[in-house]
Each structure stands twice: as C-alpha cells, then as structure tokens.
Amino acid sequence: MTEKRTAVFIVMDGLGDRPVPELDGKTPLEAAKTPVMDRLAREGQTGLMDVIGPGITPGSDAAHLALFGYDPFTTYPGRGPLEAAGAGLETRPGDVAFRTNFASVDANMVVTDRRAGRTFSPDEQEALQKAIDGMEIGDVKVKFIATVEHRGAMILSGPGLYADISDVDPHEVGKKVLTCEPLKPEAKKTADVVNKMMKEVHERIRDLPLNKERKKAGRPLANAILIRGPGRHGETPTLGERYGIKSAVIAGGALYIGTAKFVGMKHVPVEGQTGTIDTSFHNIAMKTIECIKGDYDYVFVHIKATDNASHDHNTAQKVLAIERTDEMVGKIIEATSTEVVLAVTGDHSSPVSLGEHSCDPVPVLLWADFLRADESKHFSESEAARGALHTLRGRDILPILLGYAGHVEKFGA
C-alpha cells in the first residue's frame, strides 16, 4: 500500500502577472527573491494552469471551487451560498442563499438609503438579526445573520426553491423596491416567498427601538432589507464523500473560507491571520505544520496580500508578499518534507498594470521529495511555460496532489 501523505496546497491570490516596466520587464514573481520556491521548482515540476478554462477570467470564488477539484460550470452556486458559509451560516442542498444589505425605505417602499447609513453597532445588528432569523413563510424557513456594517447573509430553506428570480434591489435611491419575478416557471414559489419575506421583514423591523433611536438622532432608519446574488446549493458532494479525506482551510477572507466550507472543509483559525500584508505568515506556517502533523489529509492555505497589492497597482508590495510567502513555505517544508506533497499557485492572474483579474494562465509548482524533476530552474511564469506539467485546468491540480499523496484509489483491477 502506498504511504499516505498530506496534500498541502498554497494559493497566493492573484499571483500571475505580466512583465512590469519598473521591474525591467520581469513579473513580480520573477523579480521576487524566492530561494525556497526556486529550489522546490528545481527538485519538482512546474507548469501553467487555466483555472476555469482557456481565455476565461476567473472570479475568486469560482476559481477556488475549481482548485478544490470541482467543475465550476456545474457546481458554482453563485456568491450567496459561498458568502453565507463564510459568515457561519451553512447551506444544505436545495437551499437558496443571498447576500443582504440593511436599507432605509419610506412608507411606499421607496429606497432612501441603500445601506441605511452603513454604520451599525453590535447591539443594532443583534436586534435586527433576532427579528429576522427564524421567520417562517409557509413551509420555508428564513435563516439570517448580520455580518459587517450593513451587510448580512440570508438562507431560504424549504422544498422546491430555485435561484432563478429577478432582483428586488432597484440599485438606485428614489426608486421603489422591485417585485421579485420568477425567471423560470419552477421559481415561482421562490419569488412569492421573497415578496412575502420583504414585506414581513419591513413590518418586523421598522418599529424596533433601534429605529426610534435612529429617528431621534437623525440617522437613516434600518427598516428594510435588500437581497442580491441568489444562489442555490445543488447536490454537491463534499471532498470527504469524494475522496474519504479530512481537509482543512487556513484563510483570512470570508469568501475563501465559505467556498472551502461549501465543499466540506474545516476552517482552522490562525491568530493574526488577515487579508493584508500584515498577516502573520509565521503563525500561518506554524498552524499549517500542526495540521500536517495532525490527522488532516489535505491542508489548503490562502494568502490574500498578493491580490490586494495588484488591485492597488502596488508592485513593490506584491513582490514583498511573494517573498514573505516564500519564507513561510520554507518553514513548512523544513518541518514536514517527508510528510507532504505540496503545490503552490494562484487562483487567477491579477496584473499590477491592470489592477484587476485577467485571463492569463497562472504558474503552478508541484513538489514532493520523490517526484521526477523537470528542467525548471525557478518558480516563475516564463519557466512554468516549459515545465513538465504543461498547461493544466484548475480542477486537475487537486486530484494530482491527492494522487501523489496516496488518497486516490486505483482505477481498474
């Protein structure tokens, strides 16, 4: 029997880039000093990856589904369920989930502030959440959680629900909340439930004490809710069901945690982990080592700082984030080299020149101490274009990792 190892998957968000003039035409990954990843590239294999598909610019959530080994075209549930899961409100197959805003409306349901002033105290959030969570509309149960500022997540749970419905948010102040319409005949019930929910939420929260206080203070009332990004949780098997593995996610952002939880991964919190360059790379390394030494078969580590730097057109900071990640990878490998199969990649390219996601394939690095080495000398976009992995699809990387780590059963006799 093959010895089982832990598959370790490190993603630098928005890693891939294009030549940058201020780096003498190198990409940030090529310019960064990355002795650890360069060594791993020499000892292992590299390649490029079209995370969703050739020419497709990936959104971070759909990209992560692909990196977790799922076909994003058939399993992507929309942003609602993924953000809800990230906020601690998990969906089950058949549920429809939304992202929400508290908003201000007048007596005719005309929107006067799409964010109800944006500022909410924890007490206000708790009172609003209590008023909405647990509501029932016929045989449909409403679950609700207030998250940050005016934001929240809502799940409708019950038989026969679909996400093919029109928007209720007029997206403009001075316009009336729209009536939800089914976009497919089978979604009629869902649209009816949404319309009843909108009315009942308004009636339940408009007279809460917090709105009397807001009125007295001249603040916008939090007397309605706007919902968006509906998504239905389909019949998606978890990673545990597909491979019989126990998997952990180490990430700072709710969307990544939510996407990982959606496929059954367990969130392992790390003290000091944030979505910025100030995140504790050391603590992330230590926690990753702990998970590898513990009983996890698959550990996913997400570093957000690279993408933030790209969005800010901040080349120096992207280089720095890559260098700090390199150091982090060094600590992990030093402690676990004979226990892991490791991949390092990005979820999409985010060229600093563009400041947004692009369709350029991302470089990927695969390493284990027993792997056949290819000709790669460094971990970079240009070297990866000649590597043994050639051009992969995003959804192929997880089975490769798990295969080498001994978690994929033989096919055939």
Interface residues toward Zn ion, by CB under 5 A:
13, 60, 347
When the beta carbons of 58 and 77 are compared against Zn ion, the nearer one is 58
Report DSSP state, residue 227. Answer: E
CB of 394 to Zn ion, least distance (A): 12
- Nearest CA to 65 out of 264, 304, 322 is that of 264
When the beta carbons of 69 and 346 are compared against Zn ion, the nearer one is 346
CB of 153 to Zn ion, least distance (A): 20
CB of 133 to Zn ion, least distance (A): 30
When the beta carbons of 321 and 408 are compared against Zn ion, the nearer one is 321
d(CA 181, CA 197): 14
When the beta carbons of 347 and 381 are compared against Zn ion, the nearer one is 347
Minimal CB distance residue for Zn ion:
60
- Nearest CA to 302 out of 272, 340, 345, 334 is that of 345
CB of 253 to Zn ion, least distance (A): 9
CB of 311 to Zn ion, least distance (A): 10
d(CA 299, CA 240): 13
When the beta carbons of 30 and 347 are compared against Zn ion, the nearer one is 347
When the beta carbons of 13 and 124 are compared against Zn ion, the nearer one is 13
d(CA 232, CA 285): 35
CB of 312 to Zn ion, least distance (A): 14
When the beta carbons of 347 and 383 are compared against Zn ion, the nearer one is 347
CB of 302 to Zn ion, least distance (A): 9
CB of 6 to Zn ion, least distance (A): 24
When the beta carbons of 13 and 50 are compared against Zn ion, the nearer one is 13
CB of 60 to Zn ion, least distance (A): 3
The type of residue at 4 is K
CB of 93 to Zn ion, least distance (A): 26
Q: Are strands 45-50 and 390-393 parallel, antiparallel or unpaired?
A: parallel
d(CA 59, CA 217): 41
When the beta carbons of 63 and 392 are compared against Zn ion, the nearer one is 63
CB of 346 to Zn ion, least distance (A): 8
- Nearest CA to 247 out of 298, 302, 300, 301 is that of 298
When the beta carbons of 99 and 232 are compared against Zn ion, the nearer one is 99
CA atoms within 13 A on the CB side of 383: 21
Q: According to DSSP H, which parts of 179-296 are helical?
A: 188-205, 209-216, 239-243, 254-262, 281-293
